[in-house]
Amino acid sequence: MWWFAIPLLGLAGKAIYDAVIDEVPSPRRKTTLELNLERLEEQLRSHSGYRIAILGQPGAGKSSLLKKMTNGKVEPLPVIGAQTDATDWSSDAACNLLSVYERYVFADVPGYDTSSHPLYIFLSSFPFGYFDAFIFVIHGKLHSSDEDIFRLIVRSGKKISIAKSFSDSIEGDDIMAVENDIRMRLSLSDSNSILFFSNRTGVGIESVFDSIIA
Ligand SMILES: Nc1nc2c(ncn2[C@@H]2O[C@H](COP(=O)(O)OP(=O)(O)OP(=O)(O)O)[C@@H](O)[C@H]2O)c(=O)[nH]1
Ligand SMILES: [Mg+2]
């Protein structure tokens, strides 16, 4: 009769196994964005050019700025678009990460703090220390995410250009207010200049490029 107990023992064993397995935390699989940020670090290590990251809010005009600054000669050309995440490092683990123009190597970084490009991944995994310079592009109102990213850029100790895009849509009188707001939110000193530019009209583009390579 003892063999009647065998299936019961089997079930009890499985229940214990499942309970133990549930409690052992399995390592989280890295997202495509995290894998791409690791790949970015590797690629930067092996590049000898002057390495510039263009970082900023989603849709701020980062990719347009790169194309304009290089007169459309940077290779490969950046993806530009009005949709969210036009520059996308979150879905293809083999996507292009760096573009080259003359002796400059650019990372046209996707806008941070979107659902596909969460802020915490940039804060924990973006290889700030591997760049020689940063262009920090601002479009709309500054958020705490901008302050967080800017703090890490400053901490890297590298050259920074602060560039305010869409200047074509700012009225002359508003420029001072916009500038004061940026200065206050980013705790800038008077020696930090804010460069206003427009990808639509081309105004200020050359100054942004000159400021970063000077
Ligand atoms: N009027 C105006 N439109 C601009 C300016 N800069 C960019 N745009 C437009 O804004 C949209 C987004 O431009 P992108 O250059 O793709 O912006 P991005 O910062 O690279 O965007 P993400 O990669 O998604 O973060 C496009 O439709 C551009 O044509 C600007 O200075 N003025
Ligand atoms: Mg872009």
Q: What is the pLDDT of residues 9-36, one digit of tens each?
A: 666 666 666 665 566 667 889 999 999 9
Angle between helices 62-69 and 205-213 in degrees, nearest 10: 80
Q: What is the pLDDT of residues 141-153, one digit of tens each?
A: 999 999 999 999 9
CA distances from 4 to 7, 16, 69, 149, 192 (A): 7, 20, 80, 65, 82
Architecture, CATH, for domain 32-213: 3-Layer(aba) Sandwich (3.40)
The residues spanned by each domain of the chain are: 32-213
Q: Is the CB of 60 under 6 A from ligand 1?
A: yes
Q: Is the CB of 90 under 6 A from ligand 1?
A: no
Q: Is the CB of 31 under 6 A from ligand 1?
A: no
Specify whether the CB–CB gap between 185 and 146 falls below 8 A.
Answer: yes
Which atom of ligand 1 lies closest to the CA of 67? Answer: 15
**Residues near 132 by beta carbon (within 8 Å), at least 6 away in sequence:** 50, 51, 52, 158, 159
Report the range of poorest mean pLDDT among 52-56, 113-117, 187-191: 187-191
Pick the residue whose CA is nearest to atom 9 on ligand 1.
Answer: 61
Confidence (pLDDT) at 214: 83
**What share of the chain in percent tops pLDDT 90?**
82
Confidence (pLDDT) at 171: 87
What's the Rg (C-alpha) of the chain? 23
Confidence (pLDDT) at 94: 98
